[in-house]
Copies of this chain bind each other. A is one copy, B any other.
């Protein structure tokens, strides 16, 4: 028997290589660009996991055939690391040896080695495995990865427990017809619209829980704001003293993400020329007050909901008035919120709920949930739902639940707004929309 030992197999970053100026180093990656300056001198730029490393190949002892090391080849270059002020990282590698690890079968269908990726969104999405190799494209997802990790880090730090809840479910939690159905060994089941019921169940177990996972919405529209499958970053907590607790924890969490992002992906933030907002506090405005503000600038057809334009108008107003990119809208009408939403005891027409808008787009829906058994059963009946269909969910109310609540934060929407992207599809590795399930 052989023995496998633990090894990290890490590769050196540009900043680590720079410390080795004067010594022989090795760089492995894809050939990003070959620039032939003469018959015996060329630059080869290597795309590593995160950076572009400038290498040069010179001298008659190296008969240069650029086709041999063309774009898309994976190579290991060995050579002396030399100081070079004109190179982006302040050094370059004078190649002594190249080992070709693999060769592509075809030339790139479009150019990924220019500053801008000059292709339309549909071509980009069709060729996602290739277009994502563009440094500007992949930077979006390095930042997104960091956001997702920081969301977990922030919550884990303050006593939240990570949970894994099923995506194949017996009932749609959010109501409505926008749910995908599937056959499960002869039974009709659904894809989870949210982890709602499960994270509530877990409040009874751990008090505070979070989950980042896929959710599915069968909404038949194709817009710049909607995906049919997206990553929902959810948390749920109890006991709470009021639904403000939930907004305070979200504010805490967002501030943590924004503060730590530059430590983790400064390279990518600079590449995309992103200026991050800074959170000290977030204003909160009642839904009914928001409607008053909006109607001064925009004609609303449904006074019980905010359409896309309403969200933009309100955010613009808040930005002008108090300089915040974020605004909580609270106390949404009861008719527009799901059956589990807690109504305001002072006015049952509205719920103890909120949305968080960021630069004109809703990125979070949250609120307090009903914890009392009779109240929940009655509300189900009023909505024409049969409590028996929710028997397993209602166990939490029946055997004791604290006042609790939580929220869902859309990872792609947050990414889109933070980076100022035009469409949410740009903020998703492999978007699923009404017309797209490939790649």
Contacts and interface: CB of A to CB of B under 8 A. Distances in A.
A37 interface: no
A41 interface: no
A130 B9 contact: no
A127 B163 CA distance: 18
Interface string A25-52: 0001110000000000000000011100
B201 A439 contact: yes
A4 B244 contact: yes
A236 B81 CA distance: 29
A9 B158 contact: yes
Interface stretch (A305-313, A388-396, A418-426): A388-396
A82 interface: no
Interface string A204-233: 111110000110101010000000110100
- Classify chain A: how many residues form its interface, as a range: 35 or more
B249 A7 contact: yes
B28 A239 contact: yes
Contact of A164 (B126, B133, B284, B411): B411
A261 interface: no
Contact of A207 (B11, B128, B411): B11
A397 B72 CA distance: 10
A72 B50 CA distance: 52
B279 A6 contact: yes
Interface in A161-187: 161-170, 180-185, 187
Query: Which of A28, A328, A398 counts the most chain B CB atoms within 10 A?
Result: A398
A286 to B, nearest CB: 9
A123 interface: no
Nearest to A106: B398
